[in-house]
Amino acid sequence: MPCLWRHPKPIGAVGRCIGRTDLAVDPRKAKRLAHRIRSHARRHRLPREVCTSPLRRSADVGRWLARWGWSHRVDAALTEVDFGAWDGLSWSAIGEPAVTAWCADFANYAGHGGETLSALFERCAIWLDEARTRSTRCVVGHAGWINAARLRTEGRHPPRDASDWPAPIGYARRMDPVVTTLRTGRPESGRVNRAGPSELFNGAVQKNGISVE
């Protein structure tokens, strides 16, 4: 199975609901992660191939690797969850009642007009099944997608309760979707968000709910 890297920290994400909003990343951070992926591939004798989401915060890493002779494949199936009308808005603009409703029906909420968590799980399941026949072992994606893939490979269903959604992998970190341990030496299995729905939160850990970006 592929190794999954989360993209570098995007510019302008703090305090906002970011799913498919196409934010840029600092080119130095994209290049730094590309170096890390290249070193990992050399060490483990992996093919010089990378698959990324089409969003810039992911694809820019692949573009650096392509400059160094790698094959870079862009796959829309790796795109972050679609938050519909919420995407790009500040959490304060979305408002506590809407986010509370989301947390109350976490797996199937679609009040924003976007994608449900259950749909994200199905998209991940299809991609992971197809990945078994591909040679690409290096993937750059997003926190929500990676969490869904992680739970899917553990045989778990989309959580009904937002507090059961795992805390996100860190920016520019790597995780194997089968062995659910971050490559920092710290086991991550079972770690979940515990923030109350009255708390508006920033960055990757969003309001007792899905980790976006």
Per-residue confidence of the chain (213 residues) as pLDDT tens digits?
789 999 999 999 999 999 999 999 999 999 999 999 999 999 999 999 999 999 999 999 999 999 999 999 999 999 999 999 999 999 999 999 999 999 899 999 999 999 999 999 999 999 999 998 888 999 999 999 999 998 988 889 999 888 888 888 999 999 864 443 333 333 333 333 433 333 333 333 344 444 457
Whether CATH 3.40.50.1240 fits 3-175: yes
CA distances from residue 213 to 9, 46, 130, 139 in whole angstroms, order as listed: 9, 27, 24, 15
CB count in 10 Å sphere of residue 61:
30
The separation between the first and the last C-alpha atoms of the chain, rounded to the nearest angstrom, is: 22
Contact 1, 35 (CB under 8 A): no
Q: How far apart are CA 184 and CA 211, in angstroms?
A: 19
Domain ranges of the chain: 3-175
Place of tokens 């805390």: 167
Give every CB contact of residue 141 below 8 A, 6+ residues apart in sequence.
Answer: 4, 5, 6, 7, 52, 53, 58, 78, 80, 149
- Chain-centre distance of CA 124, in angstroms? 11
